[in-house]
Chain A
Amino acid sequence: MKQTLISLFTISIFFLFNFWSANSQTKLDTIPFKEKYGLRLGIDLSKPLKTLLEDDYRGLEIIGDYRIYKNYYLAAEVGNEEIAITEQNISATAKGSYIKLGAEYNAYNNWAGMENIIFLGMRYAFSTFSQTLEEYTISGSSQYFPPNITEGPFETKGLTASWVELVAGIKVEILNNVYLGANVQLKRRITQTTPSNFDNLAIPGFNRTYDDSLFGVGYSYTISYLIPLYKKAKN
Protein backbone atom coordinates (compact mmCIF):
# COMPACT_ATOMS: atom_id res chain seq x y z
CA MET A 1 0.00 0.00 0.00
CA LYS A 2 2.70 2.39 1.04
CA GLN A 3 4.76 1.42 -1.97
CA THR A 4 1.90 2.11 -4.38
CA LEU A 5 1.35 5.47 -2.75
CA ILE A 6 4.99 6.34 -3.20
CA SER A 7 5.01 5.24 -6.83
CA LEU A 8 1.75 7.13 -7.44
CA PHE A 9 3.36 10.20 -5.97
CA THR A 10 6.47 9.84 -8.11
CA ILE A 11 4.44 9.33 -11.26
CA SER A 12 2.29 12.36 -10.42
CA ILE A 13 5.37 14.49 -9.89
CA PHE A 14 6.71 13.28 -13.21
CA PHE A 15 3.46 14.16 -14.95
CA LEU A 16 3.28 17.52 -13.27
CA PHE A 17 6.70 18.44 -14.59
CA ASN A 18 5.70 17.23 -18.01
CA PHE A 19 2.54 19.27 -17.86
CA TRP A 20 4.39 22.31 -16.69
CA SER A 21 7.12 22.08 -19.33
CA ALA A 22 4.54 21.55 -22.09
CA ASN A 23 2.65 24.52 -20.79
CA SER A 24 5.67 26.74 -20.79
CA GLN A 25 6.45 25.68 -24.32
CA THR A 26 3.09 26.89 -25.60
CA LYS A 27 3.68 30.16 -23.82
CA LEU A 28 6.98 30.61 -25.60
CA ASP A 29 5.26 30.09 -28.93
CA THR A 30 4.76 33.58 -30.26
CA ILE A 31 2.68 32.77 -33.32
CA PRO A 32 -0.95 32.78 -32.19
CA PHE A 33 -2.76 29.68 -33.38
CA LYS A 34 -6.07 30.34 -35.01
CA GLU A 35 -8.93 28.06 -34.13
CA LYS A 36 -11.78 27.05 -36.41
CA TYR A 37 -15.29 28.27 -35.77
CA GLY A 38 -18.19 26.78 -37.61
CA LEU A 39 -21.07 24.40 -37.88
CA ARG A 40 -20.45 20.71 -37.14
CA LEU A 41 -22.99 18.26 -38.60
CA GLY A 42 -23.14 14.51 -38.31
CA ILE A 43 -25.03 11.40 -37.32
CA ASP A 44 -25.18 9.02 -34.38
CA LEU A 45 -23.48 5.87 -35.66
CA SER A 46 -24.88 3.62 -32.96
CA LYS A 47 -28.48 4.00 -34.12
CA PRO A 48 -28.13 2.73 -37.73
CA LEU A 49 -25.84 -0.01 -36.39
CA LYS A 50 -28.43 -1.09 -33.82
CA THR A 51 -31.07 -0.97 -36.57
CA LEU A 52 -29.05 -3.52 -38.53
CA LEU A 53 -28.14 -5.74 -35.59
CA GLU A 54 -31.29 -5.75 -33.51
CA ASP A 55 -34.77 -6.79 -34.58
CA ASP A 56 -36.55 -4.68 -32.01
CA TYR A 57 -34.99 -1.35 -32.90
CA ARG A 58 -35.03 1.17 -35.75
CA GLY A 59 -33.64 4.66 -35.47
CA LEU A 60 -31.68 7.58 -36.92
CA GLU A 61 -30.32 10.73 -35.34
CA ILE A 62 -28.79 13.83 -36.89
CA ILE A 63 -26.50 15.83 -34.65
CA GLY A 64 -25.14 19.34 -34.91
CA ASP A 65 -23.29 21.95 -32.93
CA TYR A 66 -22.21 25.52 -33.51
CA ARG A 67 -19.31 27.20 -31.74
CA ILE A 68 -20.48 30.52 -30.43
CA TYR A 69 -17.71 31.67 -28.13
CA LYS A 70 -14.32 30.22 -27.16
CA ASN A 71 -15.26 26.95 -25.45
CA TYR A 72 -19.01 27.31 -25.71
CA TYR A 73 -21.16 25.56 -28.27
CA LEU A 74 -24.85 25.44 -29.09
CA ALA A 75 -25.86 21.86 -29.75
CA ALA A 76 -28.89 20.01 -31.07
CA GLU A 77 -30.04 16.55 -32.06
CA VAL A 78 -33.03 15.51 -34.14
CA GLY A 79 -34.06 11.89 -34.40
CA ASN A 80 -36.67 9.28 -35.07
CA GLU A 81 -36.87 5.95 -33.27
CA GLU A 82 -38.93 2.82 -32.96
CA ILE A 83 -38.16 0.94 -29.75
CA ALA A 84 -39.73 -2.42 -28.96
CA ILE A 85 -39.75 -3.51 -25.34
CA THR A 86 -40.37 -7.15 -24.46
CA GLU A 87 -40.81 -8.01 -20.82
CA GLN A 88 -41.86 -11.36 -19.42
CA ASN A 89 -45.55 -10.50 -19.22
CA ILE A 90 -45.89 -7.51 -21.48
CA SER A 91 -44.57 -6.13 -24.74
CA ALA A 92 -44.93 -2.71 -26.29
CA THR A 93 -43.49 -0.50 -29.02
CA ALA A 94 -42.75 3.21 -28.85
CA LYS A 95 -42.52 5.05 -32.15
CA GLY A 96 -41.87 8.73 -32.78
CA SER A 97 -39.57 11.71 -33.21
CA TYR A 98 -37.63 13.95 -30.89
CA ILE A 99 -35.56 17.08 -30.76
CA LYS A 100 -32.90 18.03 -28.23
CA LEU A 101 -31.63 21.59 -27.84
CA GLY A 102 -28.88 22.80 -25.57
CA ALA A 103 -25.31 23.86 -25.07
CA GLU A 104 -21.89 22.33 -24.47
CA TYR A 105 -18.76 23.46 -22.74
CA ASN A 106 -15.37 22.19 -23.92
CA ALA A 107 -13.38 21.44 -20.81
CA TYR A 108 -10.28 20.31 -22.66
CA ASN A 109 -7.32 22.64 -23.00
CA ASN A 110 -5.84 21.72 -26.37
CA TRP A 111 -2.24 21.99 -27.33
CA ALA A 112 -1.65 24.41 -30.15
CA GLY A 113 -2.75 22.99 -33.47
CA MET A 114 -5.19 20.49 -32.00
CA GLU A 115 -8.91 20.95 -31.70
CA ASN A 116 -10.27 18.03 -29.74
CA ILE A 117 -13.14 18.29 -27.32
CA ILE A 118 -13.97 16.85 -23.94
CA PHE A 119 -17.32 18.31 -23.17
CA LEU A 120 -20.05 18.63 -20.60
CA GLY A 121 -23.43 19.70 -21.82
CA MET A 122 -27.11 20.08 -21.14
CA ARG A 123 -30.14 19.55 -23.30
CA TYR A 124 -33.83 20.18 -23.19
CA ALA A 125 -35.56 17.42 -25.11
CA PHE A 126 -39.06 17.01 -26.46
CA SER A 127 -40.59 13.92 -28.03
CA THR A 128 -43.87 13.21 -29.75
CA PHE A 129 -44.68 9.54 -30.18
CA SER A 130 -47.13 6.67 -30.09
CA GLN A 131 -47.16 3.78 -27.63
CA THR A 132 -48.45 0.42 -28.81
CA LEU A 133 -49.36 -2.32 -26.37
CA GLU A 134 -48.57 -5.46 -28.35
CA GLU A 135 -49.39 -8.23 -25.89
CA TYR A 136 -49.90 -8.81 -22.19
CA THR A 137 -50.57 -11.60 -19.74
CA ILE A 138 -52.82 -11.05 -16.72
CA SER A 139 -50.83 -11.51 -13.52
CA GLY A 140 -52.33 -13.94 -11.05
CA SER A 141 -50.92 -15.85 -8.13
CA SER A 142 -52.56 -19.09 -9.23
CA GLN A 143 -51.47 -21.18 -12.21
CA TYR A 144 -54.67 -23.25 -12.10
CA PHE A 145 -56.28 -21.75 -15.20
CA PRO A 146 -54.26 -21.44 -18.41
CA PRO A 147 -52.58 -18.02 -18.74
CA ASN A 148 -54.82 -15.28 -20.07
CA ILE A 149 -52.89 -13.62 -22.88
CA THR A 150 -54.41 -10.63 -24.65
CA GLU A 151 -52.98 -9.75 -28.03
CA GLY A 152 -53.08 -6.23 -29.42
CA PRO A 153 -51.94 -4.12 -30.98
CA PHE A 154 -53.55 -1.31 -29.01
CA GLU A 155 -52.01 1.93 -30.22
CA THR A 156 -52.22 5.31 -28.48
CA LYS A 157 -51.12 8.19 -30.68
CA GLY A 158 -50.28 11.81 -29.91
CA LEU A 159 -48.28 11.23 -26.73
CA THR A 160 -45.60 13.71 -25.67
CA ALA A 161 -42.73 13.77 -23.21
CA SER A 162 -40.07 16.28 -22.23
CA TRP A 163 -36.91 15.87 -20.23
CA VAL A 164 -33.50 17.39 -19.49
CA GLU A 165 -30.21 15.67 -20.21
CA LEU A 166 -26.72 15.91 -18.85
CA VAL A 167 -24.26 14.94 -21.54
CA ALA A 168 -20.56 14.13 -21.19
CA GLY A 169 -18.32 12.98 -23.99
CA ILE A 170 -15.47 13.50 -26.37
CA LYS A 171 -15.01 14.57 -29.98
CA VAL A 172 -11.70 13.78 -31.62
CA GLU A 173 -10.57 15.21 -34.96
CA ILE A 174 -9.42 12.11 -36.85
CA LEU A 175 -9.09 13.75 -40.26
CA ASN A 176 -9.15 17.39 -41.20
CA ASN A 177 -12.59 18.63 -40.05
CA VAL A 178 -13.87 15.07 -39.48
CA TYR A 179 -14.68 14.19 -35.88
CA LEU A 180 -15.39 10.91 -34.16
CA GLY A 181 -17.22 11.18 -30.89
CA ALA A 182 -18.72 9.29 -28.00
CA ASN A 183 -20.95 10.47 -25.20
CA VAL A 184 -23.17 9.33 -22.38
CA GLN A 185 -26.44 10.92 -21.36
CA LEU A 186 -28.24 11.04 -18.06
CA LYS A 187 -31.87 12.02 -18.50
CA ARG A 188 -34.54 13.23 -16.10
CA ARG A 189 -38.12 13.36 -17.27
CA ILE A 190 -40.11 16.54 -16.64
CA THR A 191 -43.44 15.79 -18.30
CA GLN A 192 -45.09 12.90 -20.10
CA THR A 193 -48.51 11.87 -21.25
CA THR A 194 -49.27 8.17 -20.96
CA PRO A 195 -51.91 5.95 -22.58
CA SER A 196 -54.92 5.44 -20.31
CA ASN A 197 -54.50 2.40 -18.07
CA PHE A 198 -50.98 1.87 -19.41
CA ASP A 199 -47.53 3.47 -19.24
CA ASN A 200 -44.73 4.49 -21.57
CA LEU A 201 -42.30 1.57 -21.49
CA ALA A 202 -39.99 3.51 -23.81
CA ILE A 203 -39.89 7.03 -25.23
CA PRO A 204 -38.08 7.89 -28.49
CA GLY A 205 -34.94 9.84 -27.57
CA PHE A 206 -35.28 8.91 -23.90
CA ASN A 207 -34.90 5.13 -24.37
CA ARG A 208 -36.53 2.71 -21.96
CA THR A 209 -38.16 4.06 -18.84
CA TYR A 210 -37.84 2.70 -15.32
CA ASP A 211 -40.79 2.05 -13.03
CA ASP A 212 -41.07 4.59 -10.22
CA SER A 213 -38.15 6.58 -11.59
CA LEU A 214 -37.92 9.73 -13.66
CA PHE A 215 -34.40 8.93 -14.84
CA GLY A 216 -33.11 7.37 -18.03
CA VAL A 217 -29.77 6.78 -19.69
CA GLY A 218 -28.35 6.80 -23.19
CA TYR A 219 -25.20 6.79 -25.23
CA SER A 220 -24.08 7.80 -28.73
CA TYR A 221 -21.17 7.19 -31.04
CA THR A 222 -21.00 10.04 -33.48
CA ILE A 223 -19.27 10.98 -36.70
CA SER A 224 -19.44 14.58 -37.79
CA TYR A 225 -17.97 17.07 -40.23
CA LEU A 226 -17.03 20.62 -39.29
CA ILE A 227 -17.95 23.25 -41.85
CA PRO A 228 -15.46 26.00 -40.93
CA LEU A 229 -16.98 29.44 -41.26
CA TYR A 230 -14.20 31.61 -39.85
CA LYS A 231 -11.01 31.45 -37.79
CA LYS A 232 -10.14 33.24 -34.66
CA ALA A 233 -7.01 33.45 -32.51
CA LYS A 234 -7.09 31.24 -29.46
CA ASN A 235 -6.68 34.00 -26.92
Chain B
Amino acid sequence: MLRKKIKEFDLKILGIGLMFLALINFSCQRDDICPDSTPITPLLRISFFDIENTEVPKPPTNLRVKAADMDSIFLNRVNLSEISIPLKTDVDFTEYEFILNAQVTTEEDSVSTSNTDKIRFTYARNEIYINRACSYKVNYVNLKVSPQTLAEDTDRWIKNIVIEEENIENETNTHITIYH
Protein backbone atom coordinates (compact mmCIF):
# COMPACT_ATOMS: atom_id res chain seq x y z
CA MET B 1 0.00 0.00 0.00
CA LEU B 2 2.68 2.43 1.07
CA ARG B 3 5.03 1.35 -1.66
CA LYS B 4 2.34 1.71 -4.26
CA LYS B 5 1.60 5.21 -3.08
CA ILE B 6 5.24 6.27 -3.29
CA LYS B 7 5.56 4.81 -6.74
CA GLU B 8 2.49 6.69 -7.90
CA PHE B 9 3.76 9.90 -6.40
CA ASP B 10 7.18 9.42 -8.01
CA LEU B 11 5.61 9.01 -11.42
CA LYS B 12 3.64 12.23 -11.07
CA ILE B 13 6.70 14.16 -9.98
CA LEU B 14 8.58 12.68 -12.92
CA GLY B 15 5.80 13.77 -15.28
CA ILE B 16 5.78 17.33 -14.01
CA GLY B 17 9.58 17.40 -14.05
CA LEU B 18 9.67 16.28 -17.66
CA MET B 19 7.25 19.00 -18.62
CA PHE B 20 9.40 21.68 -17.01
CA LEU B 21 12.40 20.27 -18.80
CA ALA B 22 10.52 20.59 -22.08
CA LEU B 23 9.66 24.21 -21.26
CA ILE B 24 13.28 25.09 -20.48
CA ASN B 25 14.35 23.43 -23.71
CA PHE B 26 11.91 25.51 -25.72
CA SER B 27 12.87 28.81 -24.17
CA CYS B 28 16.50 28.18 -25.09
CA GLN B 29 15.72 27.64 -28.74
CA ARG B 30 16.98 30.62 -30.75
CA ASP B 31 14.98 31.40 -33.83
CA ASP B 32 15.40 35.17 -33.89
CA ILE B 33 18.69 35.20 -35.80
CA CYS B 34 18.61 34.64 -39.54
CA PRO B 35 21.13 31.88 -40.27
CA ASP B 36 23.64 32.38 -43.08
CA SER B 37 22.47 29.17 -44.71
CA THR B 38 19.01 30.57 -45.41
CA PRO B 39 18.70 31.91 -48.97
CA ILE B 40 17.75 35.59 -48.81
CA THR B 41 17.50 38.18 -51.60
CA PRO B 42 19.95 36.93 -54.26
CA LEU B 43 22.67 39.07 -55.82
CA LEU B 44 23.00 39.42 -59.56
CA ARG B 45 25.88 37.25 -60.74
CA ILE B 46 27.84 38.62 -63.66
CA SER B 47 30.59 36.76 -65.54
CA PHE B 48 33.06 38.49 -67.82
CA PHE B 49 34.26 36.74 -71.01
CA ASP B 50 36.54 37.61 -73.88
CA ILE B 51 34.64 38.90 -76.96
CA GLU B 52 37.28 37.45 -79.26
CA ASN B 53 37.40 34.07 -77.61
CA THR B 54 33.94 33.64 -76.06
CA GLU B 55 34.88 30.54 -74.08
CA VAL B 56 37.60 32.24 -72.10
CA PRO B 57 36.83 34.21 -68.92
CA LYS B 58 38.41 37.64 -68.99
CA PRO B 59 38.51 39.83 -65.91
CA PRO B 60 38.15 43.54 -66.68
CA THR B 61 41.18 45.51 -65.52
CA ASN B 62 40.71 47.65 -62.43
CA LEU B 63 36.93 47.55 -62.59
CA ARG B 64 34.94 49.95 -60.48
CA VAL B 65 31.23 49.24 -59.98
CA LYS B 66 28.81 51.77 -58.57
CA ALA B 67 25.10 52.45 -58.81
CA ALA B 68 24.41 55.50 -60.94
CA ASP B 69 22.48 57.30 -58.21
CA MET B 70 24.78 56.37 -55.33
CA ASP B 71 27.81 58.28 -54.15
CA SER B 72 29.47 55.27 -52.54
CA ILE B 73 31.31 52.70 -54.62
CA PHE B 74 30.28 49.04 -54.51
CA LEU B 75 33.45 47.49 -55.94
CA ASN B 76 36.66 49.41 -56.51
CA ARG B 77 39.46 48.45 -58.87
CA VAL B 78 38.84 44.72 -58.82
CA ASN B 79 40.21 42.27 -61.35
CA LEU B 80 37.66 39.49 -61.20
CA SER B 81 36.06 37.46 -63.96
CA GLU B 82 32.94 37.11 -61.87
CA ILE B 83 31.15 39.62 -59.63
CA SER B 84 27.87 39.68 -57.68
CA ILE B 85 26.00 42.95 -57.32
CA PRO B 86 22.80 43.82 -55.46
CA LEU B 87 19.69 45.04 -57.26
CA LYS B 88 17.29 47.47 -55.66
CA THR B 89 14.38 45.82 -53.90
CA ASP B 90 12.11 48.86 -53.70
CA VAL B 91 11.94 49.81 -57.40
CA ASP B 92 11.80 47.83 -60.67
CA PHE B 93 15.13 48.99 -62.06
CA THR B 94 18.73 49.58 -61.01
CA GLU B 95 21.34 51.51 -62.97
CA TYR B 96 24.98 50.64 -62.61
CA GLU B 97 28.16 52.21 -63.89
CA PHE B 98 30.93 49.80 -64.85
CA ILE B 99 34.19 51.72 -64.99
CA LEU B 100 37.10 50.03 -66.70
CA ASN B 101 40.67 51.09 -65.84
CA ALA B 102 39.41 53.04 -62.84
CA GLN B 103 41.98 55.27 -61.20
CA VAL B 104 42.64 55.58 -57.51
CA THR B 105 40.51 58.70 -57.20
CA THR B 106 37.44 59.67 -59.19
CA GLU B 107 39.06 63.01 -60.11
CA GLU B 108 41.75 61.22 -62.06
CA ASP B 109 39.15 59.25 -64.00
CA SER B 110 38.02 62.22 -66.04
CA VAL B 111 41.49 62.86 -67.42
CA SER B 112 42.77 59.30 -67.72
CA THR B 113 42.03 56.28 -69.84
CA SER B 114 39.13 55.09 -67.69
CA ASN B 115 36.03 54.04 -69.57
CA THR B 116 32.53 54.22 -68.07
CA ASP B 117 29.68 52.10 -69.38
CA LYS B 118 26.24 52.35 -67.87
CA ILE B 119 23.75 49.49 -67.75
CA ARG B 120 20.14 49.65 -66.69
CA PHE B 121 18.66 46.45 -65.25
CA THR B 122 14.88 46.23 -65.26
CA TYR B 123 12.86 43.47 -63.63
CA ALA B 124 9.71 42.61 -61.73
CA ARG B 125 9.94 41.83 -58.00
CA ASN B 126 8.37 39.04 -56.00
CA GLU B 127 8.42 39.46 -52.25
CA ILE B 128 8.53 36.07 -50.54
CA TYR B 129 8.13 35.44 -46.83
CA ILE B 130 10.94 33.33 -45.33
CA ASN B 131 10.49 33.22 -41.56
CA ARG B 132 10.34 35.42 -38.48
CA ALA B 133 14.10 35.87 -38.28
CA CYS B 134 14.80 36.43 -41.97
CA SER B 135 11.60 38.32 -42.75
CA TYR B 136 11.06 38.69 -46.53
CA LYS B 137 13.30 38.24 -49.55
CA VAL B 138 12.91 39.47 -53.11
CA ASN B 139 13.18 37.28 -56.18
CA TYR B 140 13.59 39.11 -59.47
CA VAL B 141 11.76 37.92 -62.53
CA ASN B 142 11.85 38.83 -66.19
CA LEU B 143 15.23 40.55 -66.06
CA LYS B 144 16.06 42.85 -68.96
CA VAL B 145 19.30 44.66 -69.67
CA SER B 146 19.64 47.88 -71.58
CA PRO B 147 23.02 49.59 -72.05
CA GLN B 148 22.63 53.31 -71.53
CA THR B 149 24.60 55.25 -74.06
CA LEU B 150 26.37 58.19 -72.59
CA ALA B 151 26.44 61.13 -74.99
CA GLU B 152 30.21 61.46 -74.88
CA ASP B 153 30.88 57.72 -74.94
CA THR B 154 32.37 56.86 -78.28
CA ASP B 155 34.09 53.63 -77.37
CA ARG B 156 32.06 51.22 -75.25
CA TRP B 157 34.23 48.58 -73.63
CA ILE B 158 31.24 46.26 -73.11
CA LYS B 159 30.67 44.67 -76.51
CA ASN B 160 27.86 42.25 -75.76
CA ILE B 161 25.55 41.29 -72.87
CA VAL B 162 23.81 37.93 -72.69
CA ILE B 163 21.10 37.13 -70.16
CA GLU B 164 21.65 33.55 -69.00
CA GLU B 165 18.82 33.46 -66.50
CA GLU B 166 16.04 35.98 -66.58
CA ASN B 167 14.66 34.92 -63.19
CA ILE B 168 16.99 35.59 -60.30
CA GLU B 169 16.09 33.23 -57.48
CA ASN B 170 19.47 32.03 -56.25
CA GLU B 171 23.16 32.67 -56.65
CA THR B 172 24.27 29.27 -57.88
CA ASN B 173 24.51 30.17 -61.56
CA THR B 174 25.62 33.16 -63.58
CA HIS B 175 22.67 35.39 -64.50
CA ILE B 176 24.42 37.63 -66.98
CA THR B 177 27.51 37.24 -69.18
CA ILE B 178 29.34 40.35 -70.33
CA TYR B 179 31.69 40.06 -73.32
CA HIS B 180 34.43 42.61 -73.70
Interface residues of A (CB under 8 A from B): 16, 19-20, 23, 85, 87-90, 107, 109, 118, 120, 136-142, 144-145, 148, 150, 166, 168, 184, 186, 197-199, 201, 210-213, 215, 217
Contacts and interface: CB of A to CB of B under 8 A. Distances in A.
A93 to B, nearest CB: 13
Contacts of B104: none
B159 interface: no
B16 A89 contact: no
B135 A90 contact: yes
A217 B28 CA distance: 12
Given A89-B133, A168-B16, 11 more contacts: A16-B6, A118-B12, A120-B12, A120-B16, A138-B135, A139-B40, A184-B20, A186-B19, A212-B131, A217-B26, A217-B27
A139 B137 CA distance: 5
Given A144-B86, A215-B26, A137 B31 contact: no
A137 B23 CA distance: 31
Interface string B1-40: 0100110000010011001101100110101101000001
B85 to A, nearest CB: 8
Contact of B131 (A88, A150, A168, A211): A211
Interface in B18-69: 19-20, 22-23, 26-27, 29, 31-32, 34, 40-41, 43, 67
Given A87-B32, A186-B19, A210-B26, A141 B41 contact: yes
Interface of B: 2, 5-6, 12, 15-16, 19-20, 22-23, 26-27, 29, 31-32, 34, 40-41, 43, 67, 70, 72, 74, 85-86, 88-90, 127-138
Among B67, B130, B135, find the residue whose CB has the most chain A CB atoms closer than 10 A.
B135
Contact of A166 (B19, B67, B128): B19
B39 to A, nearest CB: 10
A139 B136 contact: yes
A138 B19 contact: no
B5 to A, nearest CB: 8
A3 B129 CA distance: 59
A177 B136 CA distance: 53
Contact of A186 (B6, B23, B128, B138): B23
B178 to A, nearest CB: 19
Contact of A184 (B23, B89, B132, B135): B23
A88 B32 CA distance: 8
Contacts of B72: 144
B32 A107 contact: no
B23 A107 contact: no
A198 B72 CA distance: 34
Contact of B133 (A23, A140, A211): A211
B29 to A, nearest CB: 6
Given A148-B90, A186-B22, A186-B23, A141 B135 contact: no
B135 A89 contact: yes
Given A20-B2, A184-B19, A139 B130 contact: yes
B133 A198 contact: no
Contact of A87 (B40, B74, B86, B132): B132
A141 B34 CA distance: 11
B136 A199 contact: no
